[in-house]
Chain A
Amino acid sequence: MNINLTLIAQLLSFAVFVWFTMKYVWPPLVKAMDERKARIAEGLASAERGKHEQELAEKRAKDTLHQAKLQAAEIKANAEKQAAMIVEEARDKAKEEGGRQLTAAKAEIEQETNKAREALRTKVAELAVMGAEKILRKEIDADAHKDIVESVANQI
């Protein structure tokens, strides 16, 4: 229990060991630990980022899908509308064509009728003239009494 040189010797070794720890033990350990801490933090951050990105991508995919559905519906509606329009148009055209043909036919019929009437009238006039010729023979000149014959024919 005597205080002696041991005190000095221990004091010196204490100084040496503190110096040793300070120089060779502490800094590399703390550096490695700090580095690992940084690395772990970075890893966690990037994992978080990845998760976030995935969420974004999912959302984007959903949006795109939704958009595509909308577009498809629109295209379908357009197509239906167009089809209806085409049918309508065709019907109109057909109706118009029918009408036109009908009119043409009517006109032709009328023309034919007129022609027939004209022919008939001419024939009747000829017949009348012929009859009058037969009756009057020499007294009536065909050219001199043409207007009379014509008025008769017109009245038929």
Chain B
Amino acid sequence: MAGSETLTSGEYIKHHLTNLTYGQFPDGHWGIAHSAEQAKEMGFWAIHVDSMFWSLSLAVLFGYVFYRAAQNASAGIPSGLQNFVEMMVDFVNDSVRGSFSGKNDMVAPLALTVFAWVFLMNMMDLVPVDLIPYISGVLGIHHMKVVPTTDPNITFALALGVFGLILYYSIKIKGAGGFIGELTGMPFETKNPLLKPFFAVINLILEGVNLIAKPVSLALRLFGNMYAGEMIFILIAVMYSAGWVLGIFGGVLQLGWAIFHILIITLQAFIFMTLTIVYLDMAHSEHH
């Protein structure tokens, strides 16, 4: 696998970190990029087909399972699937009730979607790093990144979605004036009319950073964790090409890292969900 003569370790790693990109070449025609450089040249007008494929597949899987459970839901004795789904719903509901003080029917389903989706996307990390790329390679697709959350596009999209909701509800609940007041009126307050504009600027900078930090940290935390985890799996996989002893050692490491990664996967999904709830709660409440 990694030890094929045509690939060095560096190339192997780079290969694993390149998305299957469909986009517009600099000369104007659309197609699939054959190397990381080509993908980079495409700029904004390109789409990561693998990230989208896996994230959509997992979302459809989640949607299908939960939709089926929801259709069959009854107040009687729950079956196995319904039990599992209800457990998740209960878990999310408890989290929302614990952190979210406002009243909004959208927050809990949003939190469930975020949690389940991020969890499933993270879980793709536990699939051996070479398995799906190898299969797709056999099928003629040469780049395949199977963990959507190691693609910053995916994590930033989720974070920006949440950010959009934060802005929407901040303005809806507090009014545009109230929201701007919150951004400029704190943390430095003064009664002096001459100092007011000066303080407002400082406050806006501080609160603006605070506001922007929410989606950025949300996206980068998830991306960073999953990217690093994926990278370690790839580095462990490189060991397989270095002979028997290192190969077995690598196997042990991979098992250990995978077991540890189960925790990270769940934790990151949980953190993303909890912060989503907390940020929306902030957007709903009058004061920080």
| A interface, CB within 8 angstroms of B | 1-11, 13-15, 17-18, 20-22, 24-33, 35-36, 38-39
Shortest Cβ gap from B277 to chain A (Å): 13
Q: Are A10 and B63 in contact (CB under 8 A)?
A: no
Q: Report how many residues on chain B are interfacial, defined by Cβ distance under 8 Å.
A: 52
Shortest Cβ gap from A23 to chain B (Å): 8
B70 CB-CB contact with A under 8 Å: yes
Which of A2, A22, A27 has its CB near the most chain B CB atoms (within 10 A)?
A2
Inter-chain contact total with CB atoms closer than 8 Å:
131
Q: Are A3 and B153 in contact (CB under 8 A)?
A: yes
> Contacting B75 at CB < 8 Å: which of A10, A13, A32?
A32
B51 CB-CB contact with A under 8 Å: yes
Shortest Cβ gap from B18 to chain A (Å): 9
CB nearest to B89 among chain A residues: A29
Roughly how many angstroms separate A68 CA and B112 CA in the complex, as a whole number? 66
**Ranked 7 nearest A-B pairs via Cβ:** A10-B157, A35-B75, A32-B73, A6-B153, A22-B109, A26-B109, A36-B75
What would be 11 A-B contacts, judged by CB atoms less than 8 Å apart? A3-B153, A4-B153, A5-B47, A6-B157, A10-B153, A17-B63, A21-B112, A33-B90, A35-B75, A36-B75, A36-B76
Residues of B within 8 A of A4 (CB): 21, 23, 42-48, 153
Q: Are B67 and A24 in contact (CB under 8 A)?
A: yes
> Contacting B47 at CB < 8 Å: which of A9, A15, A24, A27?
A9
Residues of A within 8 A of B110 (CB): 18, 21-22
Q: Are B117 and A17 in contact (CB under 8 A)?
A: yes
Shortest Cβ gap from B3 to chain A (Å): 26
CB nearest to B55 among chain A residues: A10
Roughly how many angstroms separate A120 CA and B151 CA in the complex, as a whole number? 162
Q: A32-B75, A33-B86, A33-B89 known; A10 and B109 CB under 8 Å?
A: no
CB nearest to A15 among chain B residues: B161
Q: Is the interface of B mostly helix, strand, loop or mixed?
A: helix
Roughly how many angstroms separate A8 CA and B23 CA in the complex, as a whole number? 14
Roughly how many angstroms separate A2 CA and B23 CA in the complex, as a whole number? 12
| B interface, CB within 8 angstroms of A | 17, 19, 21, 23, 39-40, 42-48, 51-52, 55-56, 59, 62-63, 66-67, 69-71, 73-76, 78, 85-86, 89-90, 93, 105-106, 108-110, 112-113, 117, 151-154, 156-158, 160-161
Q: Is the interface of A mostly helix, strand, loop or mixed?
A: helix
Q: Are B73 and A28 in contact (CB under 8 A)?
A: yes
Residues of B within 8 A of A32 (CB): 73-75, 86
Roughly how many angstroms separate A13 CA and B232 CA in the complex, as a whole number? 29
Residues of B within 8 A of A1 (CB): 17, 151-152
Residues of B within 8 A of A25 (CB): 63, 66-67, 69-70, 109, 112
Roughly how many angstroms separate A9 CA and B22 CA in the complex, as a whole number? 13
Q: Are A28 and B75 in contact (CB under 8 A)?
A: no
Besides the known contacts A6-B52, A17-B113, A25-B63, 6 further A-B residue pairs in the complex with CB atoms under 8 A apart: A4-B43, A7-B160, A11-B161, A14-B161, A21-B109, A31-B73
Roughly how many angstroms separate A18 CA and B156 CA in the complex, as a whole number? 16
Roughly how many angstroms separate A14 CA and B116 CA in the complex, as a whole number? 12
